[in-house]
Structure 1
Amino acid sequence: MPSPKAKSSGGRSGSVSGISNNGRYEFMSLSRNPPPHLLQRQGSDPTSARLRASESPIRRRGSGSSNASTSSTGNQQMPEEDCMRLNPSFVGIAFSSLLAIDLWLSKRLGVCACEDSSWGSFRPLMKLIEISGHGIPWLVGAAYCLYKSDSAAGQEVMLNLLMALLLDLVLVGVVKAAVRRRRPAHNRMDMFATFSVDRYSFPSGHATRAAMCARFLLAHLVLAAPLRVLILLWAGVVGLSRVLLGRHNVTDVAFGFCMGYCQYNLVEMLWLSPAALQSMLGQQG
Structure 2
Amino acid sequence: MKGRVLIVAGSDSGGGAGIQADLKAVTALGGYAATAITALTAQNTEGVQGVLPVPTDFLRQQIRLVLRDIGADALKTGMLHDAPTIEAVCDELAAEAPGVPLVADPVMVAKGGHPLLQPEAVEALSRRLLPMAAVITPNLPEAETLLGRRIPNAAAMPEAATALLGLGARAVLLKGGHLTGDRLVDILATPAGVTRFEDRRIETRHTHGTGCTLASAIAAGLAQGLALPEAVARARAYVRAAILAAPGLGRGHGPLDHGVTIDPARLARLAAGQALPPG
If the length of structure 2 is used for normalisation, what is the TM-score?
A: 0.22
Greater fraction strand: 2
Structure whose alpha-carbon radius of gyration is higher: 1
Which structure has the highest helix share of the two?
Answer: 1
